Amino acid sequence: MEQNTAPYREHNRTSLTKEKLKQGFLDNLYFIQGKFPTLASRNDYYLALAYTIRDRMLHRWISTATNYYESGARTVCYLSAEFLMGPHLGNNLVNMGIFGMVKEVVEELGLNFEELLAQEEEPGLGNGGLGRLAACFIDSLATLEIPALGYGIRYEFGIFEQTIVDGWQMEKTDKWLRNGNPWEVPRPEWAQEVRLGGHTEQYTDENGRLRVRWVPAKIVLGIPYDTPILGYRTNTANTLRLWKSEAPESFDFEVFNRGDYYGAVDQKVTSENISKVLYPNDEQLSGKQLRLEQQYFFVSCSLRDMLRVLAIQNIPLSRFHEKFAVQLNDTHPAIAVAELMRLLLDEYLVDWDDAWEITQRTFAYTNHTLLPEALEQWPLPLFASVLPRHLEIIFEINSRFLDEVRIKFLGDEARLARLSLINEGGERYVRMAHLACVGSHAINGVAELHSELLKQDVLKDFYELWPEKFRNKTNGVTPRRWMILSNPSLASLVSDRIGNGWVRDLEQLRQLEPMADDADFRKEWWDVKRANKVAFAQYIFKRTGILVDPESMFDFQVKRIHEYKRQHLNVLHIISLYRRLKENPNLEVPPRTFLFGGKAAPGYHTAKRMIKLITSVGEVINRDPDIRDRIKVVFVPNFNVTTGQKIYPAADLSEQISTAGKEASGTGNMKFSMNGALTIGTLDGANVEIREEVGAENFFLFGLTADEVYALRASGYHPYDYYNTNPHLKDVIDLLRGGSFSRGDADLFRGLTDGLLHHDPYLLFADFQSYVDCQEEVSRAYLDRDHWTRMSILNAVRSGKFSSDRSIRQYCEDIWKAEPVPITLLGQNEEPT
């Protein structure tokens, strides 16, 4: 049907002139919030503004859906249990190119624009890097005009809010939906039924073939909630589709629970539990039944949704893998391999071989970690009770797979056991990474070093079997959120010199390299950084009551709290510096503010104690008059996307100090570098590539390499020897052990120090001296402001590689085979605005 959409576009709800925006804003306040200005709250204004912007996104969204429908183009489906989106409003304004205009409109109405932006509760539907990567990727997919959907879970409670009480982390539930979410549209008409539990039965179909039927114990409904994802200054508006679980009305209480009202309500509650809360563990498997149910729930809904689209586009099932490229973001959605097989075999009656070919050609798998404790495995009995049919299918996949291995590696029984989808050593487990590897045509790591280590270590046997499946796709981050939105002054300084082509093509920043030698430019650059630091100092004062000096070096370590990330190594250096300053008040070091931020998984006691260590050391140093404010230690509470946007632009130094071989990539390292912070870091993850890009002379390197770490462990690592032979290290540890930072309580950090002295699994002691020496170099460098600024500029302008646009282009070319589909807006052949 030919549609005349002109009236919608001329309407107050779509026009982009200032007058119409103002009118639309006031209309929404009146007609949606039901308020007039005298009574409106800040939240009313925020919602009215959000709806005003959403109204203006809908034409692009509807046009995009129509274009995709008509083109039948290959679609990327990014399956991820986490999408750490951050606030939408500012980002949508940036991507539509109307940030400045809307700011003016709001201010002309006498309102505070920053306050309205700050009113948005951030959708924190992720733990850290993995979830944020998914968010950057869907931004880039839309910007590159690739047909794509993000599929995930609409958690009612996202990552907990962190407060610090008496130096300890406290968790508060994240009620991000309490004031309503203007960005999502529920699509109950596309709900999907998901089965769980029960048993399987064999039966003979009308052609006399033996088939299997799954008789579930319960059925839950998945309701899709869609959020438009705009490309940067394109007409594309892709979709993030998150599933909420509900009790099905049809499978109702009348049949099963007649008269049992409470039983019925109970069923409703258990159904809704599935999408209730994000598991707050980063890189730690939880092994909980509900977690497996969550994974299966969103995967099943998403695959059924793809089958629905296939049907309405009249595409035969045999071409599923041509229509959809499905990326598994870590193993959380790996059950998709068995679910697609089950759908094809049991529901669409496809033969095994055909089903397997479609499955393998559909999926690709990204691994994000080398940590053994993060590799998901499900105990067999648990798995069987939730997904009995899938277990049968996995056994069959495994038996066919191991036959293939047997032929290739005749007589190598040990290899078979290592490769098996089932871990048989003691209690039996389903190995999700193995399922993902077997069911995918491509397997990638997230930085060069990480991808190499996968081949040498964690996935070695798979590499030897199928070397052609292995790739590297180094992570990236979106410059829209992480430069334009969060650091507007830096962005305009850049655009004033080279125009704004860099926003979609970050390598263009290199045009600014010669400016590093220009004293005027350096001054402007320094002033921008300095203004960002002043703003951040005010923020810290408001949040913590601690006064910090914007003249001091802002040295940040923000990321999840984890032993492998070694926040405690940072603390050991702080104590050693404190010690030296007390001994020699004339020590020539620049004033420094050490800032930390990050959440600890609520059940990870050592990580929580690391937070207490940071705050305790800070308490002593910050009020020691001898120090005269030359060093300060601050823990910034509740590190998330919103606080990150304030942090990266204000940083002088970025701490990326994980034990080499442990951090798969890191992405915060990229955000810091893009915003002109220098890195002190180990040769780990993407640090290696950052150093390559910015130049070794503009990067502070220390510590053992991954190979050296491996060799040291192999030869026997004795942390106690370092303590005994390095008086400096001994001094620091003894202060901690003696209670100098715990009001004399020698027990408070005993567990931490004993752990280091006797085990030190992350080799803090082995890297300590090298780190301290390197920090001295940092301090010396900061004293030469001109030179430092030069390095800062070079870090930013050489970070083009780390745009997620580059990552996504590589995924498209090498794995997804997906092409751009530029969007023509309905009703006219409009140029993108």
Instruction: Name residues whose C-beta falls within 8 Å of residue 408's C-beta, 6 or more positions apart in sequence.
Output: 465
129 sits near ligand OX2 (criterion: CB under 6 A): yes
766 binds ligand OX2 per the rule CB under 6 A: no
Which member of 667, 679, 682, 753 is catalytic? 667
User: In the complex with ligand OX2, which residue's Cβ is closer, 401 or 648?
Assistant: 648
Which strands, in side-by-side order, build the sheet including 422-423?
377-379, 429-431, 422-423
Using the contact rule CB under 6 A, the part of the chain among 123-131, 237-245, 432-440, 582-590 near ligand OX2 is 123-131
> Catalytic one among 481, 559, 798, 801?
559
User: Which secondary structure element, helix H or strand E, spans residue 24, and what is its range?
Assistant: helix 18-31
d(CA 683, CA 389): 45
The stretch near ligand OX2 (CB under 6 A) out of 179-187, 518-526, 548-556, 664-672 is 664-672
Distance of CA 660 to the CA centre of its chain: 21
CA 479 distance to own-chain centroid? 15
Task: Find all residues with CB under 8 Å of 325, minimum gap 6, and list them.
Answer: 74, 75, 76, 77, 362, 364, 815, 816, 817, 818
Q: Does 571 help bind ligand OX2 (rule: CB under 6 A)?
A: no
Q: Which is nearer to ligand OX2, 512 or 664 (CB)?
A: 664
Minimum CB–partner distance for residue 790 and ligand OX2 (Å): 28
Q: Which is nearer to ligand OX2, 419 or 446 (CB)?
A: 446
- Smallest separation (angstroms) from ligand OX2 to the CB of 283: 5
Q: Interacting stretch for ligand OX2, rule CB under 6 A, among 7-15, 388-396, 483-491, 659-667?
A: 659-667
Which CB sits closer to ligand OX2, 63 or 331? 331
| Residue 475 found at the interface with ligand OX2 (CB under 6 A) | yes
Contact in structure between 702 and 771 (CB atoms under 8 Å): yes
> For residues 601-620, which are near ligand OX2 according to CB under 6 A?
none
Burial of 641 (0-12, 13-18, 19+ CB in 10 A): buried
Output the smallest distance, CB 374 to ligand OX2, in A.
5
With contacts defined by CB under 6 A, how many residues of the chain interact with ligand OX2? 18
The number of residues in the chain equals 833
Residue 667 in the binding site for ligand OX2 (CB under 6 A): yes
**Cβ-based neighbours of 481, under 8 Å, separated by 6 or more:** 86, 91, 94, 136, 139, 641, 645
Active site residue 671: yes
563 is a contact residue toward ligand OX2 (CB under 6 A): no
Q: How far apart are CA 608 and CA 561, in angstroms?
A: 8
Residue 330 touches ligand OX2, criterion: CB under 6 A = yes
Q: Which residue's structure tokens are 């690739």?
A: 146
Please say if 573 is a catalytic residue. no
Among 169, 302, 570, 665, binds ligand OX2 (CB under 6 A): 665
154 is catalytic: no
Decide if 543 is catalytic. no
Q: Is 130 an interacting residue with respect to ligand OX2 (CB under 6 A)?
A: yes
674 binds ligand OX2 (CB under 6 A): no
268 is annotated as an active-site residue: no
**Nearest residue (CB) to ligand OX2, 82 versus 174:** 82
Partners of residue 635 on adjacent β-strands: 596
Structure tokens belonging to residue 497: 């010199």
Outline where 170-288 has alpha helix (H): 253-256, 261-273
Q: Of 127-135, 172-180, 422-430, 739-747, which segment contacts ligand OX2 by CB under 6 A?
A: 127-135
Piece in contact with ligand OX2 (CB under 6 A), picked from 129-137, 184-192, 212-220, 246-254: 129-137
**DSSP three-state, residue 429:** strand
Asked if 133 touches ligand OX2 (CB under 6 A), the answer is: yes
Please state whether beta strands 83-84 and 124-125 pair in parallel, antiparallel, or not at all (unpaired).
Answer: antiparallel
Residues 348-387 that bind ligand OX2 (CB under 6 A): 368-369, 374
Cross-strand pairs, 171: 162
Which segment (49-57, 530-538, 627-635, 660-668) binds ligand OX2 by CB under 6 A? 660-668
Tokens coding 804:
């997620």
List 368, 390, 562, 568, catalytic entry: 368
Could you tell me how far CA 672 lies from the centroid of its own chain?
16
Q: Which is nearer to ligand OX2, 278 or 748 (CB)?
A: 278
Question: Which residue among the candidates 671, 691, 801, 806 is catalytic per the annotation?
Answer: 671
Q: Which of 446, 680, 694, 729 binds ligand OX2 (CB under 6 A)?
A: 446
Q: Kindly state the smallest distance separating residue 83's Cβ from ligand OX2, in Å.
A: 13
CB 365 within 8 A of CB 328: yes
For Cα atoms 646, 650, 652, give the angle at the middle one, nearest 5 degrees.
Answer: 145
Question: What DSSP state is assigned to residue 740?
Answer: T
How near is the Cβ of 474 to ligand OX2 at its closest, in Å? 10
Q: Which is nearer to ligand OX2, 128 or 150 (CB)?
A: 128
CB of 269 to ligand OX2, least distance (A): 30
Per DSSP, the residues of 323-346 read HEEEEEESSTTTTHHHHHHHIIII
Q: Which stretch binds ligand OX2 (CB under 6 A): 497-505, 509-517, 663-671, 737-745?
A: 663-671
What b/e sequence results for 748-782 when a residue is b if at least 16 CB atoms lie within 10 Å of its CB, and e otherwise?
bbeebbebbbeebebbbbbbbbebbebbeebbebb
- Does residue 451 bind ligand OX2 (CB under 6 A)? no
Binding of ligand OX2 by 419 (CB under 6 A): no
Place of tokens 């001109």: 786
Residue 647 to residue 597: CA distance in whole angstroms: 10
* HEC profile of 547-569: CCCCCCEEEEEECCCCHHHCHHH
CA distances (Å), origin 694, targets 65, 495, 661, 687: 41, 21, 21, 10
State how far the alpha carbon of 74 is from the alpha carbons of 250, 321, 698, in Å: 34, 9, 42
Task: State the Cα–Cα distance between residues 210 and 548, nearest whole angstrom.
Answer: 73
Smallest gap from Cβ 82 to ligand OX2, in A, equals 8
Residues 683-702 that bind ligand OX2 (CB under 6 A): 685
Of residues 67 and 475, the one with the C-beta less far from ligand OX2: 475
Coil vs helix vs strand at 171: strand
Q: Given 241, 332, 565, 568, which residue is catalytic?
A: 565
Binders in 258-297 for ligand OX2, by CB under 6 A: 282-283
- Three-class DSSP category at 699: coil
Q: How far is the CB of 212 from ligand OX2 (least distance, A)?
A: 33
Comparing CB distances to ligand OX2, the nearer of 224 and 597 is 597
**Closest approach of Cβ 336 to ligand OX2, in Å?**
17
In the three-class reduction of DSSP (H, G, I as helix; E, B as strand; rest coil), residue 475 is classed as coil
Q: Select which of 60, 321, 473, 560 is catalytic.
A: 560
**Per CB under 6 A, does 476 bind ligand OX2?**
no
* Min CB(656)–ligand OX2 separation in Å: 10
Annotated active-site residue 582? The verdict is no
Q: Are 524 and 687 in contact (CB under 8 A)?
A: no
Among 663, 760, 767, 805, the residue binding ligand OX2 under the rule CB under 6 A is 663
Q: Which is nearer to ligand OX2, 53 or 148 (CB)?
A: 148
Backbone angles phi and psi of 58, in degrees to 5: -65, -35
Q: What residue ranges in 664-715 does DSSP mark as E strands? A: 678-681, 700-701
- H or E segment to which residue 129 belongs: helix 129-143
Compare residues 288 and 787 and give the one whose CB is closer to ligand OX2.
288
Q: How far is the CB of 32 from ligand OX2 (least distance, A)?
A: 37
Stretch that binds ligand OX2, among 122-130, 173-181, 458-466, 491-499 (CB under 6 A): 122-130
Spatial distance between the Cα atoms of 669 and 403, rounded to a whole number of angstroms? 44
How is residue 313 annotated by DSSP? T
* Closest CB 425 distance from ligand OX2, rounded Å: 22
Residues in the site for ligand OX2, rule: CB under 6 A?
A: 128-130, 133, 282-283, 330, 368-369, 374, 446, 475, 663-667, 685
Query: Which residues carry out catalysis?
Result: 368, 559-560, 565, 667, 671
